[in-house]
Chains A and B, each alone.
Chain A
Amino acid sequence: MSESESIYGTTLSQESMKVIAESIGVGNLPDEAAKDLAEDVSYRLKEIIQDAAKFMRHGKRQKMSMHDIDHALKIKNIEPTYGFFAKDHVPFRFASGGGRELHFVEEKEIDLNEMVSMSGSQTWPKLPLEITLRAHWLCIDGVQPTIPENPPPVSKDAQKLESVDPTSKLSNKGQSMGVGKPGGGGKSKKLRNVETVHVKQLATHELSVEQQLYYKEITEACVGSDEARRAEALQSLSADPGLHEMLARMCTFIAEGVRVNVVQNNLALLIYLMRMVKALLDNPSLYLEKYLHELIPSIATCIVSRQLCMRPEMDNHWALRDFASRLMAQICKNFNTSTNNVQTRVTRMFSQALTKNNQTHLASLYGAIDGLSELGPEVVKALVIPKIKSISERIEACIEGPGLSSVDKNGAGHIKTLLVKSVAPVLKTMRPPPDIVEEYKLDYGYIGPTLCAAVAKARTQPMALTTNVVSATTLTTNQQQGSSNVGKTMMQTTENISVTGGSPGQQQTGRTIMLGTSRGTGGSTTTGGQKFVILQSRSQTPTTPTTNPNPLQQSQQQHQQQIKFAQGSTGQQKQHISNSAPKLVVVCMATNNHTNTTTISQAKSQNVFSTQQSIERSLSPMEEHSFQ
């Protein structure tokens, strides 16, 4: 009944009538008059709106516009309300006070003088673009080509549904009939009619020849040496709508690739693979949840693996860790649900590494901190800050302690920089203003003074960094979790990863990255400039496709690339590191080594790897934090 009441006979309130009467100078409108007026005005309004709906429909729209009302008034021989134009809907603002509640339309006053004086500046409204006509094939002989002009064959919602309920794909064959696959439609229907035995249908993942070709081209381009082709391939991965069917294979390719190249310490290829992940994540028509079990371990490997490159003291594997951390954060943000708990599990994995501070390799430690700090200030607050003291003891030992390798010093230096960068903004909101060096030193040990300086600096520049506090990341894991379930949780996420160990090529089964014990060992045997064969689970091709057939050429290329790396670097030195070898910067990121400047000069001093085009967000502080 209440529903029908809301439909039938809704009228404007008497109060509205009185307010309107007041506004045109009629005070003390009698109740009776207001009631009658309200009823009549409501009736007229409804009638006008009904007429306006006709204009809306003939205008082939589903939203009513101001003009429709004007036209409706016009056919009723009423003067239209000239001068009211709104591009879209006009939001009502609400205000209350003095016992009155009011809804109103906000109209900003525009200062014409200001408008005129600003002539030529960017504040001028842009001219509307010329209307253009663009033709494309919506369908060719009954098959819809998967081009960006067409909607993706399987919508993201459908992909999502499928990942939740795989049977949905089997049951509603009829619905998908219209979408048409090459060779589908009539042919398969006929076949089904002939079949008399009821066989449970399998969800097929056939790839057409074109798709197989595309897969081959894309994977080759992504890990090949031609940077222009790679950029094109990544662009295609991040924009093309028809990749849904190939997604499973792409993800397997990435997972396998990471597995092999981590063992081989091939930094460049790992970076390429992560860029592929990034591209897939960015593709608006793909829903990756079904493949996270392959992607997350791969990414985690790139974040926390003990060794990612052949010369840890030279190569900038830190950048890869940063990049992968951001990917991980993006995945957590996009796919975390109450049932899969991606973020919880990822957070737990990283925080385990922190708890075992003293056994974890420095590089892994860096990765863990990096991964956590990308997850947002709340995570930093709960999981990183309490650990700072123990971490800083360790890096103090590495940096100040005598007789340690440059690798360790370098690593410790990076951890320090990272900590300052990620923790300072959080500390700023946590600690009350007077920043006293002694207190910091007490709370955070060795790194205290540096942090203090950073926080003080952050306070002086008010805006930019505070914006990131908005996103309150849910945090469910407990940092103090007993070590008993380490193995278990790790297994869930890193099962597939075989990590560099003492002996390369050994397939580790139960081992996880974090638990790498021996920290002094020199890692795997050097693999020279060798190119790696990426094993793929493509059964139809008997020969394992090598990305590049000629090994000699490969090694050359590899060298060339490495030389390129060196050229790209600007050879900055760290304050506390005696090692003055030029750093190889691979991914465009902050290599700001001045420990006391956290943010400002980053844009200037970023080193750009020759492959920078697409990955890589330039690290202005704003952008970086937008990840969280």
Chain B
Amino acid sequence: MSVLVGLTVQTFGIGASPAPVILQGQSRTMDEVFPHLFSIFLILGTLVGIVVLSYMVYVGVRYRSDGTTDERADSPQLGELPEGGGDGRKLAVSLTLSAIIVIALISYAWFLLLGVEGGPPEVSGEPSTDEPLSVTVVGEQFSWKYIYPNGNTAYTLRVPNDRPVALTVTSSDVMHTYGIPEYDLKTDAIPAQNTTIWFNPNETGTVEAHCYELCGTGHSEMTSEVIIMDGAAFDGWYAQSTSDATPTPNESTDKVAYAIDRPQSELADNYVLV
């Protein structure tokens, strides 16, 4: 039985585990779950859309008036009191059908959600290199500040490719939303609140993080580099790292009047990072 379930899971392309992941609530990253689920929704949604819209257009053409025989014995009369025109059965069947599709899809999505929400896998017996790297991300108008476990801060996120990375996201001023599209990651950065996301960086290289919540003048250009390093290279860098003093200036500052030199708001001054 478990082989069957495992096969099904394999077929849908999520992960390598032969066990019924859903029931185990195994950890899954967003970049495993999202493309898979999105394509299922897209395929089914397109199918349902085509069926319903085609039927609608077909009915529209099929029952088009020829302009001569509009008046019939049972035509509605001006001033009549309304009554329901039968066909309740047909309605009930259609509703049930659509409800089954929607509820099945959403339930499946919910089980996958459990995997994402569970956080990085606990690998207690393994060597410490597999412990997730925890970084705090602080949104501030208009840059992303990263705080590493050793207390160093940086405006570029460097992560190793050999262990999970857990990000705790917050904001020092207004609401932002932190997202790394490459890894299908996104979460709100809210003053005085923490949200968490995690991912498994794999290929080394540079990707971009964006802001997804309107946060002021520099919102459009509030980006930051995320550099995924070879595990060993990361360890070397991390051992020698120091804090960045200021945000890395963005290339396209010609347009945006950056508010970095703006007097820090009371809020930012008072804010205590939890």
Q: Do A and B bind?
A: no
By a beta-carbon cutoff of 8 Å, the part of chain B in contact with chain A is: none
